[in-house]
Amino acid sequence: MPPAALRRPTALLTAASAAMLVAGTLSGAATSQAATTQPCDLYAAGGTPCVAAHSTTRALYGNYTGALYQVRRVSDNATRDIGVLGAGGYANAAAQDSFCAGTSCVITIVYDQTGRNNRLTQAPPGGFNGPAAGGYDKLANATMAPVTLNGNRAYGVFVSPGTGYRNNSTNGIATGDQPEGMYAILDGTHYNDGCCFDYGNAETNSRDNGNGTMETIYFGNSRGWGSGAGNGPWVMADQENGLFSGVNPGYNAGDPTVTHRFLTAIVKGEPNHWAIRAGNAQSGGLSTYYNGARPNAAGYNPMKKEGAIILGIGGDNSNSSAGTFYEGVMTSGYPSDATESAVQANIVAAGYAQGSGGGAALNTGSTVSLRATTACCTDRYLSHSGAGVATAVVTAAGSAAEKANASWTVRPGLANGACRSFESKNTPGSYLRHQNFQLYLHPDDGSALFANDATFCSQAGVNGQGNSLVSYNFADRYVRHYAGTGYIASDGGSNSFDATALWPDDVSWVVTAPWTP
């Protein structure tokens, strides 16, 4: 417990009422219908109602029947809202799959379920510019983070560097030193050391306005402003000009490394008091990593929060981070631990599990060949010759070298084991990777950059055949053959190899038995 001076009067969720609400959470029977009591119902019962509620996977109120998010097709810029299967239910992922068939889609809006219209949209430029037109940040590829919730397919928000969402004109979000709480469900295996994968309260002008002008959940392994025990990643609080893991600027041993595949991360704050809590979103309860006074540095007591909301970026639009977001809320008032425990039980009952991107299984340790599906080139396979990667005609009468050059050993993704890396069959230790958007075969140099460049996430083939392979660190770009050469290409863009003509076919590959087993 914090010292008496730090304690506060607040509406508490009693143990009895928490148990009753959690029991209600566990009583939902239909697989297409979630429980009738959801996280924001629990927060309201605890006297700290949600003022923002964002999710692409499920409803966060038991009676919510509206849209969760919006997607936009790259092929024609048409948009579609993706709702729930029923009141309080899971996302209607089938509607997205149907709408996006034959092309790629991006997530344009993450709606606010509270009715306050605190929706998240493409982040504008600020202290830093994004890579999209006008200095805006990129939008997330809508299919890069497949999951299931109690067997129901859904998608998260996959943030690769340069991707970000924001709302600088909000309703009801804490300002100044007002109390608030927030949680987010994240992928604990998807992170980097860039600044800053945040969700929460930030500046309303997209710039660094000084110490104490932010209060967000941060997840990653950046050591630039603070760190916890081990090598990271850590759940920390971004309070502007500092990622805080406890009372001290810099290192705090009480904040452990956490790598749960599905992570519940919590930050909450009130006058001269804040806390970090976290847990496994698939099982068990929450642990408290810090609970005490504001950081021991000038400018954080009192806080000067401004009330914007960010996702995947820092308060000044720093956008070099990576991570995956599934759901999260922000509250009015400082939630009790009992309320958060009830919410954690609800999250566990939601049954988050790793989903499949579709297409043929790419089993690690297997050897495969990848055949083009474009009508011109169905006798051609992704192949290497020296460091160059292109498509090549391979036949049974071909040489042993030609066959081996078109054979790849499937490895767990060097940057993330949920995705895949492709090691040359006849050049062990060398991998398919991209550099300046072109594909090469290079030896693994052990760097984080190489690991990212050599990791690809498999999805069902965009044209309905085989598999498509998406770059892990440029999630709007797919492995493509163009004029015989291998690239990672977007569906439209300034490069010739980004041409929209034949793009769905050029990025779809049939996984075949290897020419060289």
pLDDT along the chain (517 residues), means of 10: 32 39 37 70 98 99 98 97 98 98 97 98 98 98 98 98 98 98 99 98 98 98 97 98 97 98 98 98 98 98 98 98 99 98 98 96 97 98 98 98 98 97 98 98 98 98 98 98 98 96 98 98
Helix (H) or strand (E) holding 121: strand 121-122
What's the rounded Cα separation, in Å, for the pair 95 and 76?
17
Residue 322: per-residue pLDDT: 98
Could you tell me which residues are beta bridge partners of residue 434?
Answer: 439
Residue 32: per-residue pLDDT: 42
Q: Give per-residue burial for 93-132: e unless 16+ CB within 10 Å, then b.
A: beebbebbeebbbbbbbbbbbbeeebbbbbbbbbebebeb
Token pair 């609080």 is at which residue?
237
Residue 36: per-residue pLDDT: 82
Known catalytic residue at 453:
no
Given 203, 255, 306, 316, the catalytic residue: 316
11: exposed, middle or buried (Cβ count in 10 Å: 0-12, 13-18, 19+): middle
Given 240, 327, 340, 491, the catalytic residue: 240
Q: Dig out the tokens for 59 from the structure.
A: 């409803």
Known catalytic residue at 316:
yes
